[in-house]
Every structure is written in C-alpha cells, then in structure tokens.
C-alpha cells in the first residue's frame, strides 16, 4: 500500500482541472418508446483508486473484477496520476479521479489518500486488495442513515438519449447527480515502472465524469446524449451523492446501464 503525504499530494495536484468539466442489464428492444433501463438496486458502490504505477495495485484490480461480477454492487475502477513520476504514465487516468479521491479524504477528515484504496458508499475506505475488509465496510456502511435510500433509474432510448430519474426523498437530503462512462474491461501492457512487464486487466474503468445537476430532494430527471460519453465506453453509471463543503460524500442512490 502506498501512502501519500498531504503536502506532497497538494503539490502534485496543483493546477488540476475542476471535476465538473471532466469526464445492468438492459432490454433488447430498439423502440424509442421502450427504453432500455437499469432496475437493480445496489447495496454498495465500491470505488477503487488504483494506478498502473503501483506495485500493490494489480491484486486489488483483480478483487474489483470479482466484485464487478455481482449484480448488487456497482464496482468502479478510478486510475489516479500521482505515481506517474515513478516511470510509467497511467494510460487510464482521467481528469476528476485524483480530485475525487482527495475530496473523499477531506469529507472524512482523515487525510488518507493512497493506492490501492477502496471507498465504499462514499463514507468508508479500506485497502482495495482486502476483499474481506470491503465486504465488512459494505455491511457497516449500509447501517448508516440515507445510504442508497433514494431510488435512481437510468434509461436509454433508441435515439441515444440517456436519462436519469431521481425519486423524491421524504428526508431533507440533497446532493449532486454525476454520470460517468465506464469501459467494462481493458487489458494494459505496462512497459515501465514498478509493474514493468505485466499485463493487467482492469474492470469497470471510469473514462469520464459529467455533472448532470443538483438534486434538491424533489423528484427530478436529467438527460445526456450518448455521444457525450467518450473513451470507448459500453456502460454508464450514475451516482447521487451529498457534497459536504463541496467534496464527495455519502452515496444516496446509484444505478448502472449497459449502453447501446
């Protein structure tokens, strides 16, 4: 596990762009009146912060691959860039990933930023290669009020429109709606750095972030064009989460959808 000091992280992240500008089975029908949709309600969102330049990460990448096979977990791989100086520039990192990880640390107030790090439901973090710890974090976080309590539906019509529908909440919860394009699987041959000579397979790789809007607690819908998702993605994931002091926090709802 690679720990990163706060001072070093702040220096390395200076000048990164704001995340807002960065970037499940569906039905087989092609009728625009019958959109494909994601119906499964997850019990956990697991975000793995990983790096091709981290020798401790391939085992965690394999663990995420196993979690990605489950219907009740939204497992996402987020490559970060702060180990690029070790000799290999991560080919899967996108603007927003490193800022997101740092934001989680600020929300928790623990300054813990490292790879491989798994953030569970936006509120807990564990070593990403420890599957047992991830399972325990899922169970523990589910006991927290509001975690994945808001129904979210993700649909796509035949003309390429992707729509996110967020239900009304009886509580005073509010947050932001983020959609990311996801590549289900990609194998990378790493030529330099700590993983030199290895071919690592990454699963559910986030290839871009899009803020769809703010959610005030009332039922709302948000739309994005399929063409706005870059990076050869074949799935979309939406995360509704609180933003304490402008940083990502508790996940209130989530869904995924296989794209046409």
User: What are 89-139's pLDDT values in tens digits?
Assistant: 999 999 999 999 999 999 999 999 999 999 999 999 999 999 999 999 999
- Residue 93 sits at the vertex; the CA angle it makes with 183 and 87, to the nearest 5 degrees, is 130
* Of 36 and 50, the one with more pLDDT: 50
Classify residue 86 as left (phi > 0), alpha (psi -120 to 50) or beta. alpha
- Residue 39: the pLDDT is 44
Residue by residue, DSSP assigns 53-78 as T-TTHHHHHHHHHHHHT-TTEEEEEE
Q: Buried b vs exposed e over 228-246: b needs ≥16 C-beta within 10 Å?
A: ebebebebbbbbbbbbbee
Mean pLDDT of 233-237: 97
What is the per-residue pLDDT for 220?
Answer: 97
Closest CA to 123 of 251, 257, 258: 251
CA distance 175 to 240: 7
pLDDT at position 172: 83
Name the pLDDT band for 35 (thresholds 50, 70, 90): low
- Give mean pLDDT, residues 152-164: 95
Q: What is the pLDDT of residue 157?
A: 93
Mean predicted lDDT score pLDDT of the chain: 87
Q: What is the pLDDT of residue 42?
A: 84
Tell me: the pLDDT tens digits for 211-229? 999 999 999 999 999 999 9
For residue 7, what pLDDT is reported? 34
Q: What is the mean pLDDT of residues 238-253?
A: 95
How many Cβ atoms are within 10 Å of 104's Cβ, its own excluded? 23
pLDDT, mean of residues 47-67: 98
Instruction: Work out the average pLDDT over 128-153.
Output: 96
From the list 200, 239, 233, 211, the residue with the least C-alpha distance to 75 is 239
Task: Give the pLDDT confidence score for residue 2 in this predicted structure.
Answer: 56
Percent of the chain beyond pLDDT 90? Answer: 78
Q: Please choose, from the candidates 258, 232, 251, 259, the residue with its C-alpha nearest in 3D space to the C-alpha of residue 45.
A: 251
């Amino acid at each position: 596990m690679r720990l990163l000091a706060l001072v070093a992280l702040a220096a390395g992240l200076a000048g990164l762009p704001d995340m807002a500008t960065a970037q499940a089975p569906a039905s087989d029908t092609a009728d625009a009146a019958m959109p494909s949709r994601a119906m499964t309600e997850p019990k956990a969102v697991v975000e793995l912060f990983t790096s091709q330049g981290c020798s401790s990460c391939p085992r965690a990448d394999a663990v995420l691959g196993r979690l990605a096979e489950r219907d009740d977990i939204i497992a996402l791989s987020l490559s970060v860039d702060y180990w690029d100086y070790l000799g290999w520039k991560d080919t899967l990192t996108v603007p927003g990933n490193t800022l997101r990880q740092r934001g989680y640390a600020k929300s928790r107030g623990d300054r813990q930023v490292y790879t491989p790090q798994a953030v569970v439901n936006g509120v807990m973090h564990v070593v990403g290669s420890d599957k047992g710890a991830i399972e325990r974090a899922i169970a523990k976080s589910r006991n927290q009020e509001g975690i994945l309590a808001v129904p979210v539906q993700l649909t796509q019509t035949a003309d390429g429109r992707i729509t996110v529908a967020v239900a009304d909440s009886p509580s005073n919860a509010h947050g932001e709606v983020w959609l990311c394009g996801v590549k289900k699987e990609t194998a990378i041959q790493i030529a330099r750095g700590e993983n030199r000579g290895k071919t690592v397979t990454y699963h559910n790789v986030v290839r871009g972030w899009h803020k769809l809007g703010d959610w005030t607690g009332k039922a709302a819908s948000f739309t994005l064009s399929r063409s706005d998702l870059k990076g050869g993605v074949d799935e979309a994931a939406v995360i509704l989460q609180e933003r304490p002091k402008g940083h990502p926090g508790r996940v209130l709802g989530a869904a995924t959808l296989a794209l046409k």
